[in-house]
Amino acid sequence: MRKKISLILIILSIGITKAESFMTAQYPDKIIYNGTEYNLNSNPLEPYFDKNPKNRPSMVSTALWRGYVGYFEIIENELYLTDMKIPIYQTDEDGNYKEKWFSIYRMYFSRQEKVKVDWFSGILILPHGEMVNYVHQGYASTYSKYWLLEIENGTFNEARKYENKEFEKFKKRQFEVFEKTEEYKKLFTKLKENDKYNDDEFIKSFISDFVINYTTKFMTE
């Protein structure tokens, strides 16, 4: 596990992955889909901040490495950003430690009530239902149900709903197809360039675990 966590952190530092796993469980982004709010195991704002690194909020908590929580909604088959918040930690008159959340959305989009997330293409992961297994690392905890939403340049294409076991089977099928692509070969080669993590089976297992973060479309039924 330590080896896998270390590899994740190294990959994040060189900017070639969308897998959001860290040493500490992370505050998730939020999304409203079909009128219901869900947590997100995906971060659609990250491509925006990758292109605009100077605009990224500072990390204020080890449980929020990316520096913000984004709020999204699917509206008329489009993915919109509706808010961004950061936590502020204060003590009250009795010395009790409190967390308050403040919106920073207007600092970035002062003239728009909502912004189409046209910089994002990928598969959004919406876990819900009962927690099956808690893991104090990134978004590693597992749930009884999942929605997967395919997004292309901010446009919502397709939704799929899976039970926990079906979700794991889908990831396996998705990886089997992805493994045959040029994108997989390039990613595998890039990971193997790090001498500490050049074990082929380990790298393959790592990519398999995070295949949905690496693929932008549903590649299988």
Q: Give CA torsion, residues 47, 212, 20, 156, to 10 deg.
A: 40
Q: What pLDDT shows up at residue 16?
A: 42
- E strand or H helix at 186: helix 182-192
**What is the distance between the alpha carbons of residues 102 and 110, in angstroms, rounded to a whole number?**
15
pLDDT beneath 70, residues of the chain? 1-23, 195-197
- All structural domains of the chain with their residue ranges: 2-214
Q: What is the pLDDT of residues 142-181, one digit of tens each?
A: 999 999 999 999 999 999 999 999 999 999 999 999 999 9
**Whole-prediction pTM value?**
0.86
The pair of three-digit structure tokens given for residue 45, joined into one six-digit string: 């704002």
Q: What pLDDT shows up at residue 91?
A: 81
